[in-house]
Structure 1
Amino acid sequence: MRKILITNDDGIFADGIIRLARAAKKYGEVWVVAPDGQRSAASHSISLRHSFDAWEVDFPVEGVHAFACEGTPADCVRIGVLNIVPGKPDHVFSGINYGYNLASDIQYSATAGAAFEAAFQRVHTIAFSEGAEDIHEVTDRYLDELIAELIDKPLDLWEIWNVNFPSCSLADCGGILRDRTVSTDDFYHDHYIETRLDDKRINFTVEGVRNWAAKEGTDLRAILDNCVSVGKAKNIS
């Protein structure tokens, strides 16, 4: 039986990882190693200068072996692949992330960072994300279909499959668009709000404005058009 390691960056008891683990059980023995809390935007960072703990937890999906971890999502993949899953996993699933991982934002994403770490460990990997809203109709309709389609679909060295589900009703969804490239457009146009605290100290708070334009054929364009985006992503940095 194939072994599937699942992680995320929203925390081990996030709704998305529970739904993904439940769907993955159909395809093999499921192991979860995920952060003990929120780690969004941690990118591909790993812990080098200090140790960290992991411990078994009671996971709300029967038959799943689960460990919470103090480290980053990439740490979770590393200990999952190298130490926890017996004989190394056959696949890594990262997600389902609460918030899209596409366009320029993919470089910050710890969902993608964990997936890239799995690819670096020579494990076939799929990252799953959806909008940061409690609308799961499209994800629920297409998740199993896309796991079945992609789980044995080959990838080049250090590549991952990157899947984003739009936050819309199923009736408004335009279906699946495959072979989407990672958009070079910004998902958010960011700026910082400055607040001067005293004559030396300034507080900075990031504020992002959604970008509603993107080139055809890209992941961002697919999501803006309420379509499921499926494509490959690669990071060798």
Structure 2
Amino acid sequence: MRILITNDDGINADGIIRLAKAAKELGEVWIVAPLDQRSAASHSISLHNYIDVYPYDFPIEGVKAFSCSGTPADCIRVGCLNIMPYKPDLVLSGLNNGYNVASDIQYSATAGAAFEGSFQGIASIALSEEADKLHEVSDRYLPEILTDLANKKLGYGQIFNVNFPGCPLNECNGILTDRRVSHGMFFRDHYIELAHLENNGVRLMVEGDYNEDTEPDTDFRAVVDKYISISIVKNIG
């Protein structure tokens, strides 16, 4: 299997290294990923700016890697259309530092890159875990889930969206599949005023209040209850 991987935390992130290591068990791994943090870029691509791509010395032997100045969706486009000498069989995006569930999916560059893979006609999986928490659950279940999902067929504009809870392995309650996408959100946002500016301007910064209230049988509910959540998410078509 030929696999193309990207992320939105940057090519140096721990999550993409662990994902590439697991993906190597399935076949040939290529990476095209942003050099720096590009979270919340959604499915944006570069139309009026050039994109710089450089070979990158990735810390896993046998992985062909390139850093890219564009967005994660750009990385998938560049990887499929210019870098790889053949079309990949599978696109993986992640392993993201922070959940991508519920309404947050629409902002997620992890999901956006996976959707780009789907639009290119490639089976695509977005993978995320709780931010800055334990990796015991993802390290244990990641190879198994990749093997299970890699050859499953989805419709146009559909991706698998996988989220791992950040709890100790012995507290993980298992895997829940076919989760609905919640209408809720982990952080209920508002804006705070940082400063008043000249000409009646104002400087604002977003601030979120943490929330775990959500509907049953959803991706959000699953990770709150310490389950691995697997959803099929549809963007278009």
Amino acid at match of 1:226: K
Match of 1:148 in 2: 147
Amino acid at match of 2:11: I
Match of 2:201 in 1: 201
Match of 1:157 in 2: 156
Query: Structure 1: how far apart are the matches of 2:133 and 2:99?
Result: 13
Amino acid at match of 1:98: N
How far the C-alpha of 1:204 sits from its partner, in A, is: 0.6
Amino acid at match of 2:85: P
Amino acid at match of 2:229: S
How far the C-alpha of 1:210 sits from its partner, in A, is: 1.8
Query: Structure 1: how far apart are the matches of 2:139 and 2:86?
Result: 31
Query: Structure 2: how far apart are the matches of 1:164 and 1:210?
Result: 18
5 Å-filtered alignment, 1:32-71, equals 32-71=31-70
Superimposed CA distance per residue, residues 207-227 of structure 1 (whole angstroms, 9 cap, x where no aligned partner): 111221111110000011011
Query: Structure 2: how far apart are the matches of 1:230 and 1:71?
Result: 28
Superimposed CA distance per residue, residues 136-160 of structure 1 (whole angstroms, 9 cap, x where no aligned partner): 0110111011001100111111100
Query: Structure 2: how far apart are the matches of 1:110 and 1:198?
Result: 31
Q: What count of residue pairs does the alignment treat as equivalent?
A: 236
Secondary structure of the corresponding residue to residue 223 of structure 1: helix
Q: Percent identity?
A: 58
Match of 1:183 in 2: 182
Q: Is the 8 A contact 2:115 2:157 kept in 1?
A: yes
Superimposed CA distance per residue, residues 116-155 of structure 1 (whole angstroms, 9 cap, x where no aligned partner): 0111111000110001123101101110110011001111
Secondary structure of the corresponding residue to residue 24 of structure 2: helix
Off by >3 Å, runs of 4+ in structure 1: none
Match of 2:125 in 1: 126
Mark the runs of 5 or more structure 1 residues left unpaired by the alignment. Answer: none
Query: Structure 2: how far apart are the matches of 1:188 and 1:233?
Result: 21
How far the C-alpha of 1:194 sits from its partner, in A, is: 1.1
Query: Structure 1: how far apart are the matches of 2:88 and 2:11?
Result: 18
How far the C-alpha of 1:203 sits from its partner, in A, is: 1.1
Match of 1:217 in 2: 217
Query: Structure 2: how far apart are the matches of 1:82 and 1:153?
Result: 23
Match of 1:236 in 2: 236
Amino acid at match of 2:209: V
Match of 1:114 in 2: 113
Residues 79, 198 of structure 1: CA spacing in aligned structure 2 closer, same or farther, 3 A cutoff?
A: closer
Q: Is the 8 A contact 2:3 2:29 kept in 1?
A: yes
How far the C-alpha of 1:192 sits from its partner, in A, is: 0.5
1:77 maps onto 2:76 in alignment: yes
Query: Structure 2: how far apart are the matches of 1:185 and 1:22?
Result: 33
Amino acid at match of 1:195: L
Superimposed CA distance per residue, residues 35-58 of structure 1 (whole angstroms, 9 cap, x where no aligned partner): 010000000000001211101011
Query: Structure 2: how far apart are the matches of 1:195 and 1:51?
Result: 34
Amino acid at match of 1:191: H
Query: Structure 1: how far apart are the matches of 2:180 and 2:11?
Result: 29
Please report the TM-score for the alignment, with normalisation by the length of structure 1.
Answer: 0.97
Query: Structure 1: how far apart are the matches of 2:40 and 2:167?
Result: 24
Match of 2:227 in 1: 227
What root-mean-square deviation, in Å, do the aligned CA atoms of Structure 1 and Structure 2 show? 1.1
